[in-house]
Structure 1
Amino acid sequence: MPTAPQNTDELYQALQENDRRPYGRTRTVIAEELVDAAEQFAEPLPLVHALLELQEAYTYGSEPRKSPVVFARLLTLFDEQPDVFDDRTRHQLFWRFKWVAHALLQLPEVPLPSLRQWLTEMRDRYEMADLGLQPYYGQAYRLAAHVGEDTALAYELWAGRTRTRLSDCEACEICERALYHLEAGDDERALRTWEPVLAGKESCHEEPARSISYALLPLLRTGGIDQARALHLAGYRGCRRNPSMAQEVARHLEFCALTGNEARGLELLAENRNLFDEVDSPLDQLGFLTGVEVLLQRIELLGHGEQPAAGYAGRAWTVAGLRAEVRGRADDLAARFDARNGTTAHTDRRRARLDRAPLLDALELTLRPRSLDDVAPAAPVAAPAARTAAAVPDSLPELVLRARKLDEQGHPDAQACWARLRTLVAARDYTHPEDPAVGPLVRLRADLLADEANRAGNKDEFAVAAELHEEAAALYDAVGQPGEATLARACALLAGAEIRAESATEGADEAEAKAAALTAAHASMVRLHEETPGLAPFQEARLLRLRATALALRLQTSRSDEHVAPVLAEVDLLHAFATRHDIVGQISGALQLRASTYAISGHLPAAVTQTDALLDRLKEHGPAWHLPRTLGLRGRLQLGLRDAKAAHADLSEGLRLAADWPADAVDTTRLHGDLAEACMHLGRPDEALRHLTRSAELDLRHGSRTDAYCAYSNAARLSLDLGRVEDCIALLDSLLAEPDIAAGEVDDRLVAQLRLTRARALHEGEDLKAATAEFVALAAESACWDDDPGSHAMIAAETAVLLGEAGEFGRAREAADQALGAHARAPRYEQLSNCLRELARLQAQQQGPDGLADARAFLADAGRIADEARTAGYEAHGRSLDTALAYEHGRVNAYAGEYEDALAALDKALALLGEPGTDDGRAGEWAECIRLAAAVEGLYLERPAPALTRLDAAISRLTALGHTERTEPLTSLAGRLRDEE
């Protein structure tokens, strides 16, 4: 708090501001300071309000030891000066007897007789105030349940009584009744009781998040798997990182552990690491630590005890180490509660949770299902293949020779051999075999460098690839392997061309720079070829393939017709050479390059014909591992020919065959991505979403993190379009927690896109506060994007609308001005017009006549945007900006009570629209404009006759055109006007 309030008005303003803050240390500290400030004033009422705010901060900030102390001060003030308390503060005082009862129950150091004494005090106070005792019996029941006594009588004394004004809210009482049935082992009755809360019909500050956390396991046990999944996503978001809901977080961790989602459990544990240190309630600590232990115990049983886990601050934890720490603390807390209560209830309940067996082997909770191996520090490079690769020889000489032979063929199994050799050579006790067939260690190191360079190139890490290829070439030269050295240098040339294109000088055409670099690389490869005699056939074929690839990439870059023939000429050389020497892999490669060349040059039917021939050859002669890529190529060609059904068939078959090979060898990632596109064309978005997420996760496993994040970004936007809001938020939360994103190592614009989609999802999910906070942050950051003012204009415009929805029109105006400033540099006519019109509507709707001047100012800005757009020849994608503006003038003036102006604006909008036609998409917009004009004219201006004439004519017009579905609102309004005549 910058400065202490100097008068009571400032104090009340500060209390209101603090009430908008989230619960936690910041809110609590400010509340403490405001109590100190209130004590300086002569009036006692400000102190009452400050103490009420402080007790609330302690209660929901999980500090139960302090809440009763504050309440004692309030009770003393009430006893000494009851007239200070108005109806509201008096109600708050008696309500909070329950808060104190709950706070004392959470502290094992408070003796059981003291708990009972407090309940007696509560009963006496309620009776003296002539208040109903149902709330008292509710607290008595909760104490009995906590202690582990027979609760049947206590439950009936509470649940059988009529509710009063001081009873807990419906949602909280529903939860308590459901828990009673759950404790009795009746899952189905508990779930029936919970139904209003789980369905969102009843809610409060802690509900439905609390009920959801308890209902997850009963839902699984009764077959409600889909509902449990959906509620986990929504409920977890309602309690995460909240110290007062640590037990709810723990039940979500337990749910993950019992559904085969241990990796997600670790992710959620890391997100809630703050709870280890911020939960001051011993009872909440016990519940939280028990849920954590359920998760850690499961992970350790699966053999991952050495995996890192987020725990208490100050040291790095493994799963096993954290479990031991948690177990000791939780056992001690349970024993303390049982000693206080004189029962074994808490130890028994803890043991029951820890003894639960998994309820499902695997439940796909999120769009990003991962295993413990995926989140381990040394995650596997590739996804496990369905096919068992050929056995890697145990003999080191055999392993080296097999790796080289497979590499000559381009066989995917070479990867496993090189990986094994890399591990062996890196070992401190490695001894190189003295075998002439194997050659010296330097030769093997060159082979390993070349393989590493190829993998870097596949991930577009061209600088790394070029450097490694050059190192390999030097080693090959040193051991008298000129053919291999030439191949390595040719690969380095290709990678170098990519580097030069990426680093083209500012202002140069990137495509031209890349084409020139590839032309130079090809010329250098030709010289290398001419200057290296004695190449083995497989080496010469590979060099020819590199030459053809360089020219094919040039064509792909330039799209120039003059670059087609050189590619086909090189392909013919490769095909002829490979056919003469029967090198089947390079024959297939040549045919694939030829088909791709036809495709790039726009001859798709010819490309399909070439691909058909290649597939026939592959099925007869092989190599089999080329089939998935070739089917993928034909699938993409079919997409280009707009035959999504044929594309889907080819891509699906390619994906099926790809399961026989390592994912990166057959480009499984791209098959998934292309299948997603085919599915979207076929109107199967849910299937497309699955393929997008599979593609993204494969990219992550292969180290292509930027590609993965881009694919996941597309998946998040698609899931939001499908209305799967919680899926979208959970996916993005998971991505944004990735170490490289959290450390700022990923492109800031890509991260901003992820955050923007998340903010939109939060808005769609009606979490306006969180959405607005994220949009405000993004707007501030994007203001610095001097190279992309258009994006800032869009973000600032969306931010302004959210601030308007929250009623913060001053800040909304500031954000809108930012958007207008950026729009001046990079016009976004439609987005800005939509934003300004919506702000005008919101302000007039929320503030009525008081907001009319500011609303009209927004509309004036929107009018200038429409003028600019008209001058620039811009055509809106939806309705015209002028028509939309006229309609909004009508609505804004109607909200503000300026009905004549509203009617004039609506008539202008109708004139701009013109009457709809038979196939005109304007029918709905026209009908709505008619309806609003008739409502203003007939209801507010009290001129029903012309309004009815307007309506009847419109109904007849729409009916004649076949737009009968548009007439219902008009008919309803006409009926109302006739009834009122």
Structure 2
Amino acid sequence: MPTTPQTTDELYQALQENDQRPYGRTRTVTAEELVDAAEQFAETVPLVHALLELQEAYTYGSEPRKSPVVFARVLTLFDERPDDFDDRLRHTVFWRFKWVANALRALPEMPLASLRQWLTEMRDRYEKAGLGLQPYYGQAYQLAAHTGEDAALAFDLWAGRSRTQLSDCEACEICERALYHLGKGDDERALRAWEPVLAGKESCQEEPARSISYALLPLLRAGRTDDARRLHLAGYRGCRRNPSMAGEVGRHLEFCALTGNEARGLELLAENRNLFEEVDSPLEQLAFLTGVEVLLQRVELLGHGALPATGYAGRTWTVAGLRTEIRRRADDLAARFDARNGTAAHTDRRTARLDRAPLLDTLELTLRTRSLDDVAPAAPAAVPHSPAPAAVPAVPESTLELILRARELHELGHPEADALWARLRTLAADPDYTHPEDPEAGPLARLRADLLMDRSNDAGEKDQFAVAVALQEEAAGLYDEAGDPARAALARAGALLASAETPPQNPLDPDAVEVKTAALTDAHAAMVRFQEETPGLTPKLEARLLRLRATALGLRLQGSRDKEYAAPALAEADLLLAHATLHDLPGQISGARLLRAGNHALSGELPAAVEEIDTLLERLRAEGPAWHVPRALALRGRIQLGLGDAQAAHADLTEGIRLAGEWPAGTLNTARMYADLAEASMHLRRPDEALRHLTRSAELDLRHGSRTDAFCTYSNAAQLTLDLERVEDCIALLDSVLAEPDIASGDLDDRLTAQLRLIRARALHAGEDLKAATTEFVALAAESAGWDDDPGSHAMIASETAVLLGESGEFGRAREAVDQALAAHAREPRYEQLSSCLRELARLQAQQQGAEGLTEALTFLTDAGRVAEEARAAAYEARGRALDPALAYEYGRVNAHAGAYEDALTALHQALDLLGEPGPEDDHVGEWAECVRLSGVVEGVYLERPAPALARLDAAIHRLTGLGHKEETGPLVSLAARLRDEK
């Protein structure tokens, strides 16, 4: 708390601000400080409000030991000064008897007699106050259900009584009824009882998250797997990291364990690491730990007990070690509750949960389905549903044979060379390694250079160009030491190419393309000199150098998109093709034709590119090398996309992925193939299929170390998910991705991380979690304010932030955010976005505040008018609604909300004039019809002038009917009928 309140008004303001904070230590500590501050005023009511806020913080912060103590002070004040308690405070006091009963029940050290004594106290006070006893019987039933004694009788005594104003909310009572039926083994009746809550018709602070966590397994047993999946995603988000809902989190972990989603369970456990320390409720601890143990037990049974697991702070845990610790703690808690209650209910319930067998072998819960092998530190597994990779080739036992075989396969470009280099790397790193004394093996320096070159190739594929340059330059030195100038020249040529490919420090620099083009030109010239000046170039080595030369000019053409570079690029590919044909080098022949096809495509000669690929595929299928077929199909698929033949592209890419599966995983770029296949699927209007391919592509890139590419693809997948209105899927996907170590640690590019967070914030908004969405947007707006090189993005984020703040009624903060957006817009215009934001803020303020908010609403519209003027001056054409008629329409709507109907009608007529009457092909028909409708409401209903309103409506209906716009005509016909009836 920044400053101690000096007046009761300041105290109430501070209490209101604290009420907006999430439950947790910050809110609780502030509440404690506010109680201390309230005591200085020597007034009952401010102190009572402060104490009630503190009790709420303790209750929902999972500190049940402290809640009854605070309430005892409130009750004493209530007994001493009952006249100071108005009806609202009096209602709150009686309501919170239930909170104390819940808190006492959660403490095994609290004797059962004390719990019953408290319920007696509650009953006596309710009777004395003339209040109905249904809430008392509700608490009596919950105690009976807790102990496992006489629950049926207690249920009947409660459930048969009429609700009162002090009864728990409908959603909470529904949950208790459903749990009673569930405890009787009647899943069907429990699910029927839960239906209003699961369908979103009844809710409260803890519902539907609490009910969902209990309903997941019954839904599975009923065969409603889609419902279980959907509710898991929504329900988990409602309880994660929340200490007062630790038991709910535990049940979601159990659900993961019993549906083949153990890896997701471990991921969620890591996300909720705070619950090991912040849950002070023994009952919540028991529920949470039992769910954790179900998960860990399942993981260990599957043979992954050595996996790392998130647990108690202070040490590093494995699954097996954490399970042992949790079992000890949870067994002790269950025994303590049973000893207090005089029953075995908690031990029996815990045993039943641990003894449950999996309900499904597998259930795809999220778009990012992962196995336990994927989360293990070991080598990655294959992508789900992708073709299984071929077995790793047998590794020669002799080191000499291994070296020679690796070099042979490398010369061929064979995918199986990777495994042999990996084995050699391990051997050579051993301090006891002995290099073969054989002329065929060459000196140790050459082997080390070969290994560096293999690592540099891997770095280059991951766009780690600086790393590749360093490795190749070091390799060149070792080749020189080994007396191999030809390979040294190749290494230096590769370093030049990688250096030229290194992205500029400022990608937005307008000269970046020219700089890169010049670098590639210089690299090519240096390679030509290397070829002319280097002695000992064998045909195979010369082919590799020619390949680098051709690649450099191909990249120059690709980066510049300047057709004048097409002929030199094709000429270099032809040199390589002629040389490879002369010396019968099949791999280089294939490489040359792939380069030729790519150059034709970059030049816009797509038919020629397809013809080149067809020729290549015919040769590859007849003569090989077979591992080039997937690459050729992948390129043809991309070219077919360029030609607009998505069906052919889809077929080629699907076949390419299938054939790539015949080779070791990671040796062919299937990640790119999946991304292209996703594009083809979108063209074929198969968005769900596209989504699967995108997530596969991203996971492949992630596993193979191309993390930036992976996160870019995940961003695209998340946006597509949101576009498909699969909101919970989108949030779950992004939650998982944002938990990746390099994102969580801040190592990933901050703009890419911000993009992922921005999509998540939009998804939260779409999912109607306005508070969470606003919090994220506010944070992003603050961060993007420092993006001096990208003010347009800040304008966009600040605009969206302002709208969310307006939806929450925080128009002061919304004004601050939109002012930031306007300042950024002045540097990099975002006409359409700013205009839309300002119009929406005006509408929200007028709608929420009526006439009182009109002045400020009109100020927003004045700003929107200036933006529209700037757009006209810049000859900007809006992609969506035209700015001027949209602004006039909003003037009409805002004035209508504020009761200024004549001004509203004038503005709407202006909007209609600006739009003009629609024609057969006009795309603003809907906007025009809505403007006519609203003007009819304002004039015919509010201004009570039905005749002119009807005349305009009838004319519009006639015109729209003649144009065939039935959908837009419907609302106008309904309004006209209403006006005639009233007339």
Residue 86 of structure 1: aligned partner: 86
Query: Could you list the per-position Cα deviations for residues 856-909 of structure 1 after superposition, in whole angstroms to 9, with x for gaps in the alignment?
Result: 111111111111111111111122111001000000111111110000000111
Specify the code of the residue in structure 2 equivalent to 1:445.
R
Residue 59 of structure 1: aligned partner: 59
Query: Could you list the per-position Cα deviations for residues 261-291 of structure 1 after superposition, in whole angstroms to 9, with x for gaps in the alignment?
Result: 2222122112111111111101111111111
1:474 deviates by 2.1
1:102 deviates by 0.8
1:101-180 alignment, distance < 5 Å: 101-180=101-180
Quote the Cα distance in structure 2 between the aligned partners of 1:505 and 1:153.
73
1:121-520 alignment, distance < 5 Å: 121-380=121-380, 385-499=388-502, 502=504, 509-520=511-522
Residue 653 of structure 2: aligned partner: 651
Quote the Cα distance in structure 1 between the aligned partners of 2:409 and 2:357.
46
* 2:870 counterpart SS class: helix
Quote the Cα distance in structure 2 between the aligned partners of 1:353 and 1:457.
50
1:827-838 alignment, distance < 5 Å: 827-838=829-840
Specify the code of the residue in structure 2 equivalent to 1:33.
E
Specify the code of the residue in structure 2 equivalent to 1:795.
I
Moved more, 543-552 or 925-934: 543-552
1:26 deviates by 1.4
Contact 1:829/1:866, CA 8 A, preserved across alignment: yes
1:382 deviates by 7.5
Residue 584 of structure 2: aligned partner: 582
Quote the Cα distance in structure 1 between the aligned partners of 2:913 and 2:565.
55
Moved more, 12-21 or 797-806: 12-21
Quote the Cα distance in structure 1 between the aligned partners of 2:510 and 2:152.
82
Counterpart of 1:805 (choices 790, 804, 807) is: 807
Contact 1:381/1:702, CA 8 A, preserved across alignment: no
* 2:627 counterpart SS class: helix
* 1:40 counterpart SS class: helix
Quote the Cα distance in structure 2 between the aligned partners of 1:538 and 1:101.
84
Query: Could you list the per-position Cα deviations for residues 445-470 of structure 1 after superposition, in whole angstroms to 9, with x for gaps in the alignment?
Result: 22211111111111111121122112
Counterpart of 2:713 (choices 707, 711, 714) is: 711
1:129 deviates by 1.9
Moved more, 292-301 or 836-845: 292-301
Contact 2:54/2:70, CA 8 A, preserved across alignment: yes
1:503 deviates by 5.9
Specify the code of the residue in structure 2 equivalent to 1:783.
A
Distance 1:503 1:526, change over 3 A: farther
Contact 2:382/2:389, CA 8 A, preserved across alignment: no
Quote the Cα distance in structure 2 between the aligned partners of 1:381 and 1:175.
42
Quote the Cα distance in structure 2 between the aligned partners of 1:313 and 1:556.
52
Quote the Cα distance in structure 1 between the aligned partners of 2:510 and 2:857.
47
Specify the code of the residue in structure 1 equivalent to 2:658.
R
Specify the code of the residue in structure 2 equivalent to 1:956.
H
Moved more, 829-838 or 664-673: 664-673
Q: Percent identity?
A: 77
* 1:624 counterpart SS class: coil
Contact 2:485/2:534, CA 8 A, preserved across alignment: yes
**Does residue 638 of the first structure (1) align with residue 643 of the second (2)?**
no
Query: Could you list the per-position Cα deviations for residues 366-407 of structure 1 after superposition, in whole angstroms to 9, with x for gaps in the alignment?
Result: 121222232234443976943223222233332222211111
Specify the code of the residue in structure 2 equivalent to 1:978.
R
Residue 912 of structure 1: aligned partner: 914
Specify the code of the residue in structure 1 equivalent to 2:820.
Q
Query: Could you list the per-position Cα deviations for residues 406-443 of structure 1 after superposition, in whole angstroms to 9, with x for gaps in the alignment?
Result: 11110000011111221222234433344443334333
Distance 1:884 1:504, change over 3 A: closer
Residue 889 of structure 1: aligned partner: 891
Query: Could you list the per-position Cα deviations for residues 219-257 of structure 1 after superposition, in whole angstroms to 9, with x for gaps in the alignment?
Result: 122211111111111111101111100001111111112
Specify the code of the residue in structure 2 equivalent to 1:530.
E
Contact 1:626/1:666, CA 8 A, preserved across alignment: no
Contact 1:759/1:775, CA 8 A, preserved across alignment: yes
Structure 1: which 5+ residue stretches go unaligned?
Answer: none
Contact 1:367/1:690, CA 8 A, preserved across alignment: yes
Quote the Cα distance in structure 2 between the aligned partners of 1:740 and 1:506.
25
1:837-876 alignment, distance < 5 Å: 837-876=839-878
Specify the code of the residue in structure 2 equivalent to 1:336.
R
Specify the code of the residue in structure 2 equivalent to 1:639.
L
* 1:235 counterpart SS class: helix
Quote the Cα distance in structure 2 between the aligned partners of 1:979 and 1:75.
59
1:621-770 alignment, distance < 5 Å: 621-770=623-772
Quote the Cα distance in structure 1 between the aligned partners of 2:641 and 2:52.
65
Q: TM-score, normalised by structure 1?
A: 0.97
Moved more, 464-473 or 628-637: 464-473
Moved more, 481-490 or 545-554: 481-490
Specify the code of the residue in structure 2 equivalent to 1:889.
Y
1:718 deviates by 0.8
Specify the code of the residue in structure 2 equivalent to 1:606.
A
Distance 1:301 1:425, change over 3 A: farther
Quote the Cα distance in structure 1 between the aligned partners of 2:431 and 2:309.
30
1:673 deviates by 0.7
* 1:39 counterpart SS class: helix
Quote the Cα distance in structure 2 between the aligned partners of 1:864 and 1:264.
51
Query: Could you list the per-position Cα deviations for residues 490-549 of structure 1 after superposition, in whole angstroms to 9, with x for gaps in the alignment?
Result: 2222113224x6369996722222222222222222222223333333222222211211
Quote the Cα distance in structure 2 between the aligned partners of 1:851 and 1:379.
61
Structure 2: which 5+ residue stretches go unaligned?
Answer: none
1:582 deviates by 2.0
Quote the Cα distance in structure 2 between the aligned partners of 1:337 and 1:536.
82
Specify the code of the residue in structure 2 equivalent to 1:574.
L
**Does residue 924 of the first structure (1) align with residue 916 of the second (2)?**
no
* 1:590 counterpart SS class: helix
Specify the code of the residue in structure 2 equivalent to 1:679.
S
Query: Could you list the per-position Cα deviations for residues 112-140 of structure 1 after superposition, in whole angstroms to 9, with x for gaps in the alignment?
Result: 11111211222222222222222112111
1:608-619 alignment, distance < 5 Å: 608-619=610-621
* 2:40 counterpart SS class: coil
Residue 97 of structure 1: aligned partner: 97
Specify the code of the residue in structure 2 equivalent to 1:518.
L
Contact 1:462/1:498, CA 8 A, preserved across alignment: yes
Specify the code of the residue in structure 2 equivalent to 1:85.
F
* 1:343 counterpart SS class: coil
Query: Could you list the per-position Cα deviations for residues 664-689 of structure 1 after superposition, in whole angstroms to 9, with x for gaps in the alignment?
Result: 43210110111111111111111111
Q: TM-score, normalised by structure 2?
A: 0.97
Corresponding residue pairs, total = 980
Contact 2:727/2:763, CA 8 A, preserved across alignment: yes
Query: Could you list the per-position Cα deviations for residues 911-950 of structure 1 after superposition, in whole angstroms to 9, with x for gaps in the alignment?
Result: 1111111232222111111111111111111111211222
Moved more, 17-26 or 556-565: 556-565
Quote the Cα distance in structure 1 between the aligned partners of 2:567 and 2:964.
57
Quote the Cα distance in structure 1 between the aligned partners of 2:44 and 2:381.
68
Residue 773 of structure 2: aligned partner: 771
CA RMSD, aligned part only? 1.8
Quote the Cα distance in structure 2 between the aligned partners of 1:849 and 1:431.
89
Distance 1:426 1:820, change over 3 A: same
